[in-house]
Structure 1
Amino acid sequence: MKAIIVMYDSLVKNLLQPYGCQWTKTPNFQRLAQRTVKFENCYVGSLPCMPARREMHTGRYNFFTRSWGPLEAYDESMPENLMKNGIHTHLISDHYHYWEEGGANYHTHFGTWEIVRGQEGDKWKAQLKEPKIPEKVIAALLTDGDRIG
């Protein structure tokens, strides 16, 4: 069995081709969706990123019992449970806080990991132009109840 979990902090699925968007070109997401089962629904208990990650690792709601923070020593995590059952786990992240001192130790629960630099205050951040999103696309997204930006 192979499992790939793709998780983004700020991505509207309606802007991806596999979910019906025709004005963006997302060939890698297209190929992935054609070869896998698409995840259609998610009900999040804790937001934003780090609490949601703790929920994904442990399967427990985060904000019912604690505030923002790292995985605790007593937390059993999904990547660890997979490894105990002979399944290789690997994390690729551009969330450089994992690797900072005191950086929430989420990466240490994977068999291997790597970082793609370029987010937030990281000096390697690329300077990209703002995308031109057609007004009709913005209107359609807002009609569906989604918010972008």
Structure 2
Amino acid sequence: MDPSRITLRPFKLSDAADMLVWAGDDRVTRSLRWKTLTSKDEALAFIEQVCIPHPWRRSICIDDCSIGFVSVFPGSGDDRCRTDLGYEIGVEYLGQGITTRAVKMATAQVFNDFPEIVRLQAFASVENKASQRVLERAGFVKRDC
């Protein structure tokens, strides 16, 4: 995969059909806090109500086609100097280095967009070895909780 084809951008309402492809797949959404989408209308509502107002949720795109997302959740109060990172990508794009590239891109951008952030952290389940590898390849350091 040519890395120049991979971009991060804010979600647009026109992403609904693309989003339904990956967010309508139980294999993708099983690790997310939101349910599998079942219609273009649900995808449109999710983009409008969740993605667009989110402080930092970006669509992972190939040639401007949404194939997943990466988000950060800035802390507040005593935790305002750290943020959590989350991501997901359509199953057909797994194993191609796209997620690692997207996480690296997001990491660089987050520190520019939130200058108060000194720690960016992500969590991967013990069973999710692929996600652990993404984080390691993106420069994250594994720590026990």
Q: Which has the higher contact order (CA 8 A, sep 6+)?
A: 2
Note whether the superposition's TM-score is higher than 0.5: no
TM-score (norm 2): 0.29
Q: Which has the larger radius of gyration?
A: 1
More helix by share: 2
